[in-house]
Structure 1
Amino acid sequence: MAMPTVSNALASTVRYATAFHRQQAINTYFEHNDHFEVYVNLTNFLFDNYKQALTIIHDSKTILPSLKRDLSIDDNSIFYKWLEEEKEYLEGLSHEPPEETLHMEYWQRLEKFEASR
C-alpha cells in the first residue's frame, strides 16, 4: 500500500498553514482515503494474498515431496536449520556494511566540497 508515500506529499501543502487548517486538511485527506482508496486496496491485497496462500498450500502437497526426493532430503529438521541460517544472515544485514557507509560519507563530502566552491 502506497499511503505513507502519498501522505508525505500532504506535508508541503500544510507546512505554512495555521494549526486549524493543517488539522482540517489532514482530516479531509484521510477521510477521503478511508472512503475511496484504502479499504478497496486493502481488501484486494488481502484477497489476492489469501488466494496465493491457498495455491501454495495446495501445490506444496505434491511439489515438496518430489523436491525432497530430488535433493535427497530425508530429515525435515534441515528446514529448521536453513531457517535459522537465513535468520542469522538477515539479522547481519540490519546494519549497513562499513565500507558502504564510508563510500556514502565520501560522496556526501565531495558534494559539499563542490557546492562550497
Structure 2
Amino acid sequence: MYGYTHERACQLVFLMLYIVGVGLEDGEGCERYFSVTNSLAPITQYQSIFHRRQSVAEFAYYHDLQTYSNLSKFIYGNYKQALRIIGSKHLVCSRMQESGISSEVFYTWLVEEGEYLQNLCKTPPKETIEMEYFAKLDALQSCQRHLAEVRKAWIPYSATARDKTNTLETKHRNEQENERTLIADVQALEERLEIFSRWIEGSEQWLKAKKMVGEAEYQKALDKLEGLLVARMFEMGRLNIAGTGKFPSF
C-alpha cells in the first residue's frame, strides 16, 4: 500500500514495478517483517535490557524457522508465475506486432507520461490569470449590485433616523472604495491578458473561465479527499497494532 498511495509522478520514478532489473518482487518483504515485529512491543515495553534482547532474538529465531518452512511454497508460487508469464509471451509479442508496438516504446511512454504529469502539477500561467480575472469580475458585479441597493435605500426623516443615515452613508462609502479597488484590479488584469473588450456575463470567455474555476475547486476538493482517505487507511491500519503506545499516566 505504501508505494501505490503516492502520487503517480512519484510512482514512475521510485515504484519498483518500473525499475529495470528489479524483477517481479514488490520489495515490501522488509516492511512486512517489521510489521510483524510490532507484536513484540507490549511484551518488551517494560522488560529489562537483557530480557528485551532475549525476546527479540527468540522472535527472530522462530520467525526464521517459520519462513524457512514456507520457503518451498514461496519458490513454487514464483515458479508458477514465471511459467505463466513465459507462456503468455508469444501471445503478447504477436499482439504487439499487430499494433505496431516495439519493446523500446514502453520506456518512451514512461518518459512521456512523466513529462505530462509534471505539466499537470502546475496550472498554465495564462489560465491562472484568466481565472483570477473572472473572480475579480464576479466580485465587481456583486459589489456593484450591493452599491445599487445602498443608493436606492431611503430612510424617512425622524429624530431617531440620524444613526441609520450615518450607517448607510458609511456602507455606501465602503462599497464605493471596494468598487474602485476592484475596477483597478480588473483593469490591471485586462492589460496583462491583452483584453480590449471586457468580458460580460454569459459570453463564451466568461463561461469558459467559470468552468475552469469550477474544475479547479473540484480538483482541490478531490485532492483533499484523497489525502484524508489515505490518512484514514493508515490510521485504521495503525489501530490493528495494539499495545504499541504508552499507557496514560494518572
* Bin of the TM-score, shorter chain as denominator length: 0.5 to 0.7
Aligned equivalents of 2:75 and 2:81: distance in 1?
10
Give the TM-score taking structure 2 as reference length. 0.32
Q: Which runs of 5+ in 1 are unaligned?
A: 93-97, 108-117
Map 1:1-117; keep pairs closer than 5 Å.
2-35=32-65, 37-60=66-89, 62-70=90-98, 72-85=99-112, 88=114, 99-100=223-224, 104=228
Two-structure CA RMSD over aligned residues (Å) = 3.4
Shift of the 73–17 alpha-carbon distance from structure 1 to 2, 3 Å rule, reads same
Aligned equivalents of 2:53 and 2:101: distance in 1?
61
Identical-residue share of aligned pairs (%)? 32
Q: Which runs of 5+ in 2 are unaligned?
A: 1-28, 119-219, 232-250
Aligned equivalents of 1:100 and 1:3: distance in 2?
31
Aligned equivalents of 1:24 and 1:6: distance in 2?
17
Shift of the 3–24 alpha-carbon distance from structure 1 to 2, 3 Å rule, reads same
Shift of the 20–49 alpha-carbon distance from structure 1 to 2, 3 Å rule, reads same
Give the TM-score taking structure 1 as reference length. 0.60
Aligned equivalents of 2:72 and 2:91: distance in 1?
29
Structure number having the greater helix percentage:
1
Q: Paired residue for 1:110?
A: none
Q: More relative contact order in 1 or in 2 (CA 8 Å, sep 6+)?
A: 2
Larger radius of gyration: 2
Shift of the 66–55 alpha-carbon distance from structure 1 to 2, 3 Å rule, reads same
Aligned equivalents of 1:22 and 1:49: distance in 2?
36
